[in-house]
């Protein structure tokens, strides 16, 4: 049983398209996150939800919109994709703000 | 905001060697975590270690919170230890973990 699973693993798309990445965790955690890893491996938080409430919203373009239908799921929708959006996007979960962080396997997004 | 610095940035070892990775942080923290990103891109949580020492097989970690640093020890390194090691601390006791830039480790057979 995968603890944090995200799909798809690879996403190749054209500029201007809209795409979604889905994430699910079966750890019973109350907090979920989206992180972005750039080509230099730098990891930066984008969003966080605690019990379906948005608690972290970093300086991310409005084209990125997270949605949490319940505390086990957190999806990321990206509108009007741009070349600069190419990166690896990781979903993660933890129990509140003091718990260990567990990552999904990542989604490598390539915008052509 | 809090700054996180890791050293060395790159490390090459011969299989069987030991190594120490360091993580310095600029403010007091209530949480510090170490992660390993393997060559396939998976991020694995190694330790949750706000203070003290923990061991897990050939890996151990020590955090000295009062002096604002943490060390990750890898003993008898194996090729499967290759990858990038990150430490991360929360900003202002919040949900927001700030990651260091990582130590890239290559273990040669």
Which strand ranges, in their side-by-side order, compose the sheet holding A73-78?
A: A4-7, A19-25, A73-78, A64-70
Percent of chain B with pLDDT over 90: 86
The reply to whether A108 touches chain B by the CB within 8 Å rule is yes
CB within 8 Å: A106 and B41? yes
At residue A52, the pLDDT reads 85
Maximum mean pLDDT: which of A52-66, B59-73, B81-95: B59-73
Distance CA A36, CA A39 (A): 10
Distance CA A97, CA A51 (A): 12
- Cis peptide bond prior to B8, omega within 30° of 0: yes
Contacts for A65 with CB less than 8 Å, ≥ 6 apart: A76, A77, A78, A79
* Local structure of B65: helix, strand or coil: helix
Nearest to A64 by CA among A52, A51, A48, A76: A76
pLDDT tens, position by position, B49-77: 999 999 999 999 999 999 999 999 999 99
pLDDT at A111 over 90: yes
Task: Nearest chain B residue to A54 by CA: give it.
Answer: B95
Q: What is the DSSP letter of B37?
A: E
Q: What is the DSSP letter of A30?
A: S
The beta-carbon neighbor of B95 closest among A31, A100, A108 is A31
The reply to whether B84 touches chain A by the CB within 8 Å rule is yes
């Amino acid at each position: 049983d995968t603890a944090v699973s995200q799909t798809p693993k690879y996403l190749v798309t054209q500029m201007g398209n809209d795409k979604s990445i889905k994430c699910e965790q079966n750890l019973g955690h109350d907090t979920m996150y989206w992180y972005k890893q750039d080509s230099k491996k730098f990891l930066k938080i984008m969003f966080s939800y605690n019990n379906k409430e948005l608690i972290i919203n970093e300086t991310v373009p409005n084209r990125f919109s997270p949605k949490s239908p319940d505390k086990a799921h957190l999806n990321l929708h990206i509108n009007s994709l741009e070349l600069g959006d190419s990166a690896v996007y990781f979903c993660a979960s933890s129990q509140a703000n003091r718990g260990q962080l567990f990552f999904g396997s990542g989604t490598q997004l390539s915008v052509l | 905001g809090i700054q996180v610095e890791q050293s060395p940035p790159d490390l090459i070892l011969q299989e069987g060697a030991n190594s120490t990775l360091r993580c310095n942080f600029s403010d007091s923290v209530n949480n510090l975590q170490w992660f390993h990103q393997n060559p396939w891109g998976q991020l694995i949580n190694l330790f949750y270690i706000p203070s003290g020492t923990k061991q897990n097989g050939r890996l151990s970690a020590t955090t000295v919170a009062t002096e604002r640093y943490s060390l990750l020890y890898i003993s008898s390194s194996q090729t499967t230890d290759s990858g990038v090691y990150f430490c991360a601390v929360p900003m202002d006791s919040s949900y927001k973990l700030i990651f260091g830039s990582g130590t890239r480790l290559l273990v040669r057979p």
